[in-house]
Each structure stands twice: as structure tokens, then as C-alpha cells.
Chain A
Amino acid sequence: MTSILVVAEHRLGQIRDITYEMLTKGREIAEKLNTEQIAVILGRNIKEKAKRLSEYAEKVLVFEDEKLENFNSDAYQKVLMNFLREEKPILTMIGHTSYGVELAPRLAASLNIPLATDCIDIFFEGENLTVIRQMYGGKVNVRATLKKGSGYMVTVRQAAFTAKKPLQPINGEIIEKRSPLAEEITLKRFIEYVLPAAGGVDITAAEKIVAIGRGVKDQANIPVIEEFANLLGAALACTRPVVDKGWLPSERQVGSSGKIVKPKLYIALGISGAFQHIVGMKNSDLTIAINKDPNAPIFGYSDYGIVDDLFKVVPALKKKIVELKGQKTV
């Protein structure tokens, strides 16, 4: 077989978006190679969910087992190792998500299948697989080829592809498979989910956001920015490093491990634009970025860019806005 195989991802009863993003890209590749796409889903009481996957795939294979109720890379690896050895897909796609990064490298190593992680594009040139991925926090793109193997595996970056249902649903066959898990998985056990603490500020509801990154340099500089945000009527948000340093609470974090925001105005101050952050803000209506580095990736996602020291521009901007507001009240 030379099928394209997509490992579906779900959590708390929901199929995750990355699944449809991969199925959309996989469909395109399968059609080019004139082969079929297979979706595989592992879980408990998930057969109903398989129907939507069948719109994209010729076959949907369902492994039902109570041991698969919550994601466990150890259990997934055991099931998928067996199955991939039988099926021998030419390409296996897994999300570059908290689940995929836990599963894919180990699965690839155990099967001795070349793996490229965090891909933003994937294409075959003859029988060779070429991928595009990023280095240096998104500052550089890399075109790379995979070593020839009995198949290939990739993990796919979230939101790298836009999910789109096929015009003609494939309505592929749904096939129930026997779970090969005989014994309990004991080396690694899922215990529970920990929900984020209910925060005081919901940045996803804000129309305007002023966000800060590493370039803010010191916690002592934050009040100045906060005043500026207040003046604009904007919520203050930030990147991951600011939360890691303990300067702002995690409820303020924009990005793949934080919040996804779509405000009318996003002002990025001292944010270089690592992809984990970009994912969280790239759909803002108007983005203005201030950064000292003219090559900061954030500029590639901004409408207006200012290459300067934010601590020079922000005070000037504050002054101008205060003046303007003064005029208005007169």
C-alpha cells in the first residue's frame, strides 16, 4: 500500500482542529499521488466521531478500547506500531501538538521511519519527501528532504494548513479494528486534567490589545506599558517568556499554549514573533509592531512596523494621545 495516513486527535470528546487541517493537506497529497487517504482514530466510544472524518478519507479505522479513553503515548504507540507495520503507508501525519510531540518521535524511532517534525509544508517530488519547517524561532525557513525509508512520518504545525471539506465528501468506509492492547499500560498512566485557573481578565474578549514580549526587558518597565494600554482602552497581554519570568499571569499569554485572540487592534511591543505567539494573534484586524530588530518575524504579520526602541516610541505616543484627548474634552 502507498496510502496517506492521518492520526486523528481528540480530547474531552472533541476532535481537534489539527485533524481536519491534516486531512485537508493529506487529501491534496493523496490525489496528487493517486492513492487513498486513511484516517485512524483511537479512543473509547468514538465511533460516532469517525463519521466526519470519513468525509475526507477513503477509510476510517477505529480502535476502541477503554485503555484508550484518554491520550497516552505509550498505549498509542503500541497500537500504531502494529498497525503501521501492516498498513505501510507512504506518509503518516501526526499533529505537532502536545499529543503529537509525545508520540511521533518515539513511534518513528521504533519503526525506523524517517520523521520530520513541526512541518509547515509537505510535498512529494517523485518518491522523495520534501518538507518546509522553521528554525531559530521562525526567523528562518528550511527546505529539507527526508532520508529514503520504507515510509515517512511528519508532525504538522497547528494552523499551517486551512481545513476545507472536500467539495464531494468521500464518505469512506468506517472499519472497526480490534485493539491489540492486552494488558494495562502501567509505565505511564493518565491521571487527570488540570483546568486553567479562572482568571480576572479575559484577553480574548478585548477589542484592543497591547502585548509585550522579551523586549520589555524588566518587570519594572511594565507599569509604563500598562498606563499606555489603559490610555488606549486596551487589555495588556504578553508572550510566553514574560509569563515564564513571572512578570504577568498566564491568563495574559497569547499563543499556542495560551489564548488565541482576534482583536481589532494588536500593538506588539518588543515581541520578536516566535511562531507559538504568531498562532495566537495573526488574525487580528490591525497589527502594529515596534521592535529594534528589522528582521523580527513579527513584522511579517504586521500592517505597520516601527524599527526603534519601544521605550522611546511608547512615551512619545502616550504624550500624543494625552494631547489629543485633552483637545477632545475642551
Chain B
Amino acid sequence: MLDIIVCVKHVPLTSEAELKIEANGRKIEKTGLVFDINEWDDYAVEEAVRIKEKLGGTVTVITVGDEDSDNTLRKCLARGADKAIRLTDPKFEGSDGYAVAKILYNVVKNLRYDLILTGFQAGDDGYSMVGPILAEMLQVPHATLVKKIELDAGTARVNRELEGGLEEVVEVRLPALFAVQTGINVPRYVSRMGIRKALQKEIKVMNLAEIGLKEEEVGEAGSWLKIEKLYVPPLEKQVKFLKGGPEEVAAQIVEILKSKGML
């Protein structure tokens, strides 16, 4: 029996979307973007549910975000999580990974857990810091880039992904926090029906005062990092765009390949 907490984030899906930077230069325009659970967190929730199915216990998902984050929490509940907590306050706006870790800490410290799972990073700001900082605050050991978890009495053996295809195995005493890398499992499909059923499950909502933090500890004031400006990255190579329909473009590519002796 294990009590597992999974920290998740509701993020815009941007890998195939065209992004526009807001006029103030500090954010991207969110209208028109589709939001979903952060990809890494999706694997973390799946892993938690698999552990629960094997060993018994509970899975609690927790997020820092606005009301829309309920969509991500419902998806987690539909997949097999038992409880969901949403930490929401306008003052959280502008929080970096450090401030988010503080917010999570103030709630998680009062919960029962044997294992905490997070995604290794978030697809939006990519800090890769919430998990390890939360582990430091809770004074539990942690591992990041986790590709495999094997549980034994009171310990876990985990595979960490290193560079170039290499992995390392580390043994960690529980309770512990693991930041999960994609590919650790294949997340199961969640049907619309499943999500609709999850509507019956309650989502607990807490604000700044209920969490017990002060205004200056969260948001931009409580963060390490202050975003000054967003901009489109400069090009490393001067790309030449080939114009025309598929046939015309194909003909141009063939000519390029021929001229370079590739065909």
C-alpha cells in the first residue's frame, strides 16, 4: 500500500502551434491555443496509477493553476487518480519554479505520502526545478530523469537517463520524490466518457490564505527569476524557403540534391 502524490501542470500545447508574443513582450498570447496536461506529467500520473494497481494505495494529483486546470485534473481522475487538489490564487501569477515549489510544499507537507512523482520538466517554461526543490523542502531524497521504478520494502530502484543512451541505476529510500522522463511507460487512453464520469469526483480548491503563505512569498515577488522580455530566437542558418506546390517543391529539392552530388 502506497500513498502517491503526483504534481501536474496544465500547459498550452505549442509544438505544432504558431506562437505570438503579447504586446508587453512578457508572455505569449494564449487565446486559440489548446491546453492539456504537461506531457511529462502525463507519464508521471500513468506511472502512479500503475503502481497503485499493482500494490494498492491512493493517488492524489495536485496542481498550481487557474480554473481551467480542472480539465487536466479530471483527466488524471479519469485515468485512476483518487483525489485532486487545485491551488489557485491571482497572486500566484508570475511564479517561477521556485515559487511553485513553495506553494506545493505548504500543502504537500500536511499530506500522507510514500512517493511523490512529478514530470521531469514542463513543456512551457522548462525549468526542471520544481521536483528537486520540493524534495529539498520536504527533506526527502529524489531522483530526476527517471525511466524505470522498481519498488521494494522501503526503497526504490530507479533508472535515470544519462546522456547518449546511457542510464544509471540508483537506490533511493522512501519516502522519495521522482521526476519522471517521457517514455517510462505508455500512458493509457482516457475516453471522453471516463472524463465525464470523473466530473462526479470532487476537486479541492485552496487559495493563498488557506495554504498559509504570504503574498510576497509567491508570484513574481517570491520568484528567483523575473522575465524581462520574450523574443523569437535568432536563426543559426539563413534558411531559404522553397515555394510552390508539392510537385514544384519536389523538383527543386531534387535539383539541390543533384547539385550536391546526393543523387
Contacts and interface: CB of A to CB of B under 8 A. Distances in A.
A243 to B, nearest CB: 6
B115 to A, nearest CB: 14
Nearest to B135: A106
A105 B21 CA distance: 28
A262 interface: no
A27 interface: no
Contacts of A31: none
B86 interface: no
B211 interface: no
A215 B15 CA distance: 10
A41 B124 CA distance: 33
Contact of A134 (B16, B28, B126, B240): B126
A302 B182 CA distance: 27
Given A115-B98, A137-B123, A295-B18, A101 B145 contact: yes
Contact of B247 (A71, A142, A257, A316): A316
Contacts of B171: 188-189, 191
A186 to B, nearest CB: 7
B163 to A, nearest CB: 6
Contact of B224 (A115, A142, A303): A115
A194 B239 contact: no
B165 interface: yes
Interface stretch (A57-65, A166-174, A305-313): A305-313
B161 interface: yes
A118 B126 contact: yes
A144 B26 CA distance: 10
Contact of B19 (A139, A303, A317): A139
Contacts of B143: 102, 188
Interface string A238-262: 0011011110001101001111100
Interface residues of B, number: 82
Identify the interface centre among A240, A244, A250, A321: most chain B CB within 10 Å of its CB: A244
Contacts of A321: 254, 263
Contacts of B127: 117-118
Interface in B194-245: 223-237, 239-242
A265 B260 contact: yes
Nearest to A120: B233
A2 interface: no
Contacts of A72: 170
Contact of B240 (A192, A301, A303): A303
A188 B168 CA distance: 12
Interface stretch (A32-40, A48-56, A176-184, A280-288): A280-288
A304 B129 contact: no
B162 interface: yes
B246 A308 contact: yes
B18 to A, nearest CB: 5
Identify the interface centre among A187, A246, A309: most chain B CB within 10 Å of its CB: A187
Interface string A138-149: 111111111101
A312 B168 contact: no
Contacts of A241: 182
A186 B173 CA distance: 8
Contacts of B74: none
A139 B15 CA distance: 8
Nearest to B262: A265
A214 B239 contact: no
A98 interface: yes
A196 B166 contact: yes
A191 B144 contact: no
A320 B161 contact: no
A139 B164 CA distance: 24
B129 to A, nearest CB: 4
Interface in B46-80: none
A181 to B, nearest CB: 16
B144 A303 contact: no
Interface string A187-202: 1111111111000000
Contact of B15 (A143, A194, A274): A274
A20 B14 CA distance: 33
B88 interface: no
A304 B240 contact: yes
A272 B262 CA distance: 24
B22 to A, nearest CB: 11
Contacts of A259: 164-165
Contacts of A274: 15
B136 A106 contact: yes
A192 B228 contact: no
A191 B156 CA distance: 12
A208 interface: yes
B224 A116 contact: yes
A294 B239 CA distance: 11
Interface string A210-225: 0000110000000000
7 contacts: A102-B145, A188-B173, A191-B168, A246-B186, A265-B260, A272-B15, A324-B258
Given A102-B132, A304-B240, 12 more contacts: A73-B142, A105-B128, A109-B101, A117-B127, A135-B230, A136-B19, A188-B170, A240-B183, A258-B165, A293-B17, A305-B239, A306-B253
- What are the 9 A-B residue pairs with the smallest beta carbon separation, nearest first? A196-B165, A316-B250, A114-B224, A244-B183, A105-B129, A105-B132, A300-B235, A316-B246, A187-B141
